[in-house]
C-alpha cells in the first residue's frame, strides 16, 4: 500500500522533485493537496528523488563546516538517529538522517560558533 512516494527515494542533495501545497476547490488552507513538481527534466528510466528534510541542497560552507567536518557530523547524526530515519543516500553532503531533528537540534543548526541556531 502507500502512495506514489514509494516510487521515489530520499536523497539529501541533488533531488529532482519538490512538494508544494495546491488548493483545488478547497477554501480551507489547512487542507491542501500536495503536488510534486519537477525541478528539471527527468529522463526516462531516471530515478525520482525527493528530500524528506529540506527543499534546498546543503552547502557546508554556508554553515561554517569544512567538507570533512560535515561528513563527521553526518556520521554522528546517522549513528544517533532511530534506525528507520538513518540516511545512506551516498551523496557527498548526506545529512545522515532522512528527517529533520527538532528545530535547532540538527547539527547544521547548532549554535556552536557556526552559522545557524
pLDDT in tens, 12-50: 888 999 888 888 888 888 888 888 899 999 999 999 999
Residue 60 near residue 66, CB atoms below 8 Å: yes
Residue 96 near residue 87, CB atoms below 8 Å: yes
Check residue 40 and give its pLDDT.
Answer: 94
How confident is residue 113, by pLDDT bands cut at 50, 70 and 90?
very low
Where in the chain are the domains?
A: 4-50, 60-109
Global confidence as pTM: 0.70
Nearest 10 degrees: Cα torsion 7, 49, 90, 111: -120
Amino acid at each position: 500500500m502507500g502512495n506514489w512516494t514509494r516510487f521515489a527515494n530520499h536523497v539529501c542533495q541533488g533531488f529532482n522533485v519538490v512538494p508544494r501545497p495546491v488548493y483545488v476547490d478547497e477554501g480551507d488552507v489547512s487542507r491542501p493537496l500536495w503536488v510534486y513538481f519537477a525541478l528539471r527534466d527527468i529522463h526516462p528510466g531516471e530515478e525520482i528523488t525527493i528530500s524528506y528534510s529540506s527543499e534546498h541542497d546543503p552547502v557546508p560552507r554556508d554553515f561554517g563546516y569544512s567538507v570533512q567536518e560535515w561528513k563527521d557530523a553526518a556520521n554522528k547524526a546517522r549513528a544517533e538517529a532511530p534506525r528507520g530515519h538513518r540516511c545512506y543516500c551516498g551523496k557527498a553532503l548526506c545529512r545522515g538522517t532522512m528527517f529533520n531533528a527538532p528545530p535547532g537540534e540538527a547539527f547544521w543548526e547548532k549554535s556552536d560558533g557556526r552559522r545557524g541556531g
